[in-house]
């Protein structure tokens, strides 16, 4: 995997090394030519087969089982930022988006209020994937499903699970009863992974609004509108 410096490949390498193949792709020792290049040498997976190839209910079940394996204590002296640090940076961009488009203000204010409450009393500091969704889980030989592409950080499980709640949001938006389905997902995933439902709801709202405002800022209007409609259901 060739990763540019902004992607922080060394942090990705550190997380994958700590998991050592447990629920995630296993890093291999790079040769001298790759050392220091930002490239990651990883075990081969079937990149063309992700959990998105499965029916939704089965995909969510497999994804939840994979994500659970990743939630471990971080290594001593780890280089990873915290959920509070990452979301603090994102909050500034969200405020700027709301100032540029006042129509976004109600959702942004609700998301920022949820974040303030959540970071004030974070219950745990575990190693998190950071960007976990069905397309980040690929078929393997050593195990049926292994995750790739972490954006690692440390914090609570509810933050990590929140991105999975929003998976296939475009399908939910296009279907009748999408809002009810989204709320059921929060409840079902919280119960199956023993995560506090209110905290999962709050982080799902924050992450959906953050993704939506960022997409709009970057000119990805359709994706932005999908994420913000999803957030509105919450």
Contacts of 216 (CB under 8 A, 6+ apart): 97, 101, 104, 224, 225, 228
Per-residue model confidence (pLDDT) at position 112: 98
Per-residue model confidence (pLDDT) at position 7: 58
Per-residue model confidence (pLDDT) at position 175: 87
CATH number among 1.10.1060, 3.30.70, 3.90.1200, 3.40.50, domain 5-233: 3.90.1200
Per-residue model confidence (pLDDT) at position 115: 98
Residue from 134, 116, 133, 104 nearest 232 by CA: 104
169-182 tens-digit pLDDT:
999 998 889 899 99
Domain boundaries, the chain: 5-233
Per-residue model confidence (pLDDT) at position 164: 96
Give the pTM: 0.92
184-229 tens-digit pLDDT:
999 999 999 999 999 999 999 999 999 999 999 999 999 999 999 9
Residue 103, pLDDT above cutoff 90: yes
132-160 tens-digit pLDDT:
999 999 999 999 999 999 999 999 999 99
Per-residue model confidence (pLDDT) at position 10: 85
Residue 36, pLDDT above cutoff 70: no
């Amino acid at each position: 995997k060739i990763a540019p410096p902004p992607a922080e490949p060394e942090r990705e390498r550190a997380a994958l090394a700590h998991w050592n193949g447990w629920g995630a792709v296993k890093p291999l020792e790079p040769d001298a030519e790759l050392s220091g290049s930002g490239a990651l040498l990883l075990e081969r997976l079937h990149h063309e087969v992700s959990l998105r190839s499965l029916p939704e209910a089965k995909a969510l079940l497999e994804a939840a089982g994979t994500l659970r394996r990743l939630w471990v204590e971080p290594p001593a002296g780890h280089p990873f930022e915290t959920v509070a640090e990452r979301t603090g940076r994102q909050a500034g961009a969200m405020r700027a988006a709301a100032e540029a488009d006042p129509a976004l203000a109600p959702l942004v204010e609700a998301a920022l209020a949820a974040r303030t409450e959540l970071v004030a009393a974070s219950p745990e500091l575990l190693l998190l994937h950071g960007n976990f969704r069905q397309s980040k889980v690929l078929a393997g030989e050593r195990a049926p499903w292994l995750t790739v592409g972490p954006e690692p950080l440390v914090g609570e499980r509810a933050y990590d699970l929140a991105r999975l709640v929003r998976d296939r949001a475009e399908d939910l938006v296009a279907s009748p009863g999408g809002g009810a389905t989204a709320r059921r997902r929060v409840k079902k995933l919280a119960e199956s992974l023993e995560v506090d439902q209110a905290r999962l709801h709050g982080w799902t709202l924050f992450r959906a609004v953050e993704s939506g405002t960022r997409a709009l800022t970057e000119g990805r209007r359709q994706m932005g509108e999908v994420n913000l409609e999803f957030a509105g259901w919450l």
